[in-house]
Amino acid sequence: MSTRIPKIQHLLASVLQSKMRAVHANIGAIMLRYEQRKTLRIATSRGLPSEVHDQAEVRLGEGVAGKVAELGDAVIVDDIEKDARFAKTNDPKYGTGSFICMPVRVGDRIIGVINLAKKEDASTTPPTPRPFSPTDLQFLSALLTYIGYAVDNARLLQEAQESAAKVQVVVDDLRATQAQLVRGETLSAIGKLASGMAHHLNNLFAVILGRIETLRTKVAEPEAQRYLEIVQRAALDGAEVVRRVQRFSRVQPVSRTMPVDLNQLAQEVLELTRPRWHNEALLRQIRIDTALDLGNIRRVAGEYAPLREVLLNLVLNAIDAMPDGGQLGVRTWADSEGVHCDVSDAGTGMSDEVRQRALDPFFTTKGPKSTGLGLSVTYGIIQRHNGKLEIDSAPGRGTTVRITLPAVEVAVPAPNRPVTMPLLPSDLRVLLVDDEPEVRGALADMIGISGHTAFQAAGGKEALAWLDAGQPVDLVLTDLGMPGMTGADVARAVRARWPQVRLGLMTGWDETEGLVNDTSAIVDFVIVKPFNLQALLSAYAAGPKAA
Ligand SMILES: Nc1ncnc2c1ncn2[C@@H]1O[C@H](COP(=O)(O)OP(=O)(O)OP(=O)(O)O)[C@@H](O)[C@H]1O
Ligand SMILES: [Mg+2]
């Protein structure tokens, strides 16, 4: 109680003290009514043993104080010991001597009582009672009116403060919800933008990369090679940006989950980033220590690659935040809520403003070399996994980003897939089906280098006609979104009539996931544009999909 109503407590304590002094009482207590429980409880006391203070709770209408609080008539007793009313009551024990219990009123409401007692004078034999005098009574009743209002005001004030605090909580909640809504809106707006844009950009990058790859085999001059390499890298970076936007703006929940071990993931990510936190740090003559604290956790239900990207983004941010070195910590543990993973750094930390905007797409404080997509991608991935992401950060104190993911129901051992490097094919005959001549041409030329052959078809009909004519083809590589026959139609037709021909599906990203999933069931592999020759050959070499 005392922590909840400090103000009333102080007020009452000083009121009690002054009243006691005025009437020479040695024991005193102010009791307040608790309407819900229909009781009186001591709000402040002096001279009472603390156990009496803490326990005393009197039902309204019972005992001396309970009756006074209910009926409003003061009770004055010359000697408690001799008064029948104190014989069997719950009233706090005020020892021997004279006693007074008066109601404390606010208008016609009784809000509590004040109890005062005077000990007998022990110096005489027998000890003489020291009753309250008539002036004591007058004095007290005059003051009690004032106490009532003071107490009531304090109570009102406190209630007002409590409601203000409650309002603040509601406002904070609203603000957080609003921020989340805005973020959701931003994400879905960017999602729409991304799907429209990605198709075009990916096709453009496919043209650029295809052409560069071809050119690089034709140009001998070292300087030209170097320029081509720069352009190629820029185009690859551009394609990566598009992919990142696509990834975070994809709002569907993860479809095919598998049990993912966050502990394994954390170790893998620290290994992957070792060049950044170890080698590079050494070069810059700083030291970044890693502290891995892996708990006993269940696997989470998720997709491996996106979750690895989550940890990768968080670890890279942590490293970026420690330009002078420091400790990078990754901790995992589990509780009833799920599996948690903290990535923490002892770095610069974030100001309130940065923390609030950190999840916004393209928000970065790191200048043009950064896209500002790391955390928004991360946030999107965690959302799709039905997880939670929290940022705890303050300038100078460092940052901890915590992700929480639902654990899988039963522990399932992760499949132990052997990693084999398939032999890349040579002399591949590829039938390229794409309605966009620029893209088709660039891809055909890219395939045409290093001994492979590409035939081009502008659509499904043309492709089937080519196969009908008995032209030898190892692989039909078809675009998905085409007017007339779609890639899915092409795939079905080829599967039905030329089962020995391998099928690959190229997709931009704007295709609906369902369509890609349906078609991917028919084809041997799906490859996302833009891609390079190496990626295509590897996908082909992975072999036909088992039916
Ligand atoms: N661990 C951290 N410590 C301090 N600031 C951080 C931390 N993580 C993120 N931030 C702040 O949030 C901003 C956004 O982070 P985010 O990962 O989205 O983008 P980025 O790191 O700037 O760029 P990108 O990840 O695309 O390379 C950062 O620029 C930085 O200001
Ligand atoms: Mg980042």
3-state DSSP helix/strand/coil percent for the chain, to nearest 5?
A: 45, 20, 30
C-beta 249 within 6 A of ligand 1: no
Tell me the pairing of strands 300-302 and 258-260. Answer: antiparallel
With H, G, I as helix, E, B as strand and everything else as coil, classify residue 38: coil
- In 3D, which of 533, 515, 356, 358 has the Cα closest to residue 432? 533
Determine contact, residues 45/30, Cβ cutoff 8 Å: yes
Q: From the CA of 36, how far away is ligand 1's center (Å)?
A: 52
For residue 480, give both structure tokens.
């998905």
- In 3D, which of 513, 506, 231, 247 has the Cα closest to residue 380? 247
C-beta 354 within 6 A of ligand 1: yes
Residue ranges of alpha helices (H) inside 398-484 are 437-448, 460-468
Determine contact, residues 293/330, Cβ cutoff 8 Å: yes
For helices 487-497 and 513-520, the axis angle rounded to 10 degrees is: 10
The domain covering 2-166 belongs, at the CATH homologous superfamily level, to: GAF domain (3.30.450.40)
d(CA 3, CA 159): 14
Q: From the CA of 210, how far away is ligand 2's center (Å)?
A: 29
- The pLDDT score that the predictor gives to residue 344 is 97
C-beta 351 within 6 A of ligand 1: no
CA of 321, nearest ligand number: 1
Residues with Cβ within 8 Å of residue 374, at least 6 apart in sequence: 313, 316, 317
Atom of ligand 1 nearest to the CA of 364: 29
- The pLDDT score that the predictor gives to residue 515 is 66
C-beta 372 within 6 A of ligand 1: yes
d(CA 442, CA 419): 32
- The pLDDT score that the predictor gives to residue 180 is 65
C-beta 356 within 6 A of ligand 1: no
C-beta 345 within 6 A of ligand 1: yes
For residue 11, what is the DSSP state?
H
C-beta 115 within 6 A of ligand 1: no
d(CA 491, CA 523): 7
Q: Ligand 1: which of 237, 366, 369, 392 to mutate, most ligand atoms within 8 Å of CB?
A: 366
Which residue's alpha carbon is at the smallest distance from atom 23 of ligand 1? 372
Atom of ligand 1 nearest to the CA of 376: 18
Q: Ligand 1: which of 273, 364, 403 to mutate, most ligand atoms within 8 Å of CB?
A: 364
Q: From the CA of 376, how far away is ligand 2's center (Å)?
A: 9
Determine contact, residues 76/103, Cβ cutoff 8 Å: no
Determine contact, residues 265/399, Cβ cutoff 8 Å: no
- Domains of the chain: which residue ranges? 2-166, 182-249, 258-405, 429-541
Q: The domain 429-541 is classified under which CATH number: 3.30.1360.230, 1.10.10.2520, 3.40.50.2300, 3.10.20.440?
A: 3.40.50.2300
For residue 80, what is the DSSP state?
G
For residue 276, what is the DSSP state?
I
Domain 258-405 coded CATH 3.30.70.360: no
Where does residue 396 fall: left (phi above 0), alpha (psi -120 to 50 degrees), or beta otherwise? left
Q: From the CA of 400, how far away is ligand 1's center (Å)?
A: 12
For residue 306, give both structure tokens.
């996106």
Q: From the CA of 365, how far away is ligand 1's center (Å)?
A: 7
For residue 126, give both structure tokens.
């027998």
Atom of ligand 1 nearest to the CA of 363: 14
Residues with Cβ within 8 Å of residue 350, at least 6 apart in sequence: 358, 391, 393, 394, 395, 399
Q: From the CA of 391, how far away is ligand 1's center (Å)?
A: 11
- The pLDDT score that the predictor gives to residue 423 is 66
- The pLDDT score that the predictor gives to residue 1 is 39
Q: From the CA of 418, how far away is ligand 1's center (Å)?
A: 36
Atom of ligand 1 nearest to the CA of 244: 26
Q: From the CA of 296, how far away is ligand 2's center (Å)?
A: 28
Q: Ligand 1: which of 240, 375, 390, 402 to mutate, most ligand atoms within 8 Å of CB?
A: 375
C-beta 391 within 6 A of ligand 1: no
d(CA 309, CA 317): 12
Determine contact, residues 89/70, Cβ cutoff 8 Å: no
Q: Mean pLDDT, 10 residues at a time, over the chain (547 residues)?
A: 53 81 85 86 84 78 86 82 66 73 84 83 72 80 76 73 76 69 64 69 85 87 87 84 69 67 92 87 88 92 86 94 94 94 96 91 86 86 89 95 87 45 76 91 86 92 93 92 89 93 81 65 85 86 71
C-beta 373 within 6 A of ligand 1: yes
Q: Is the peptide bond before 544 cis (omega within 30 degrees of 0)?
A: no
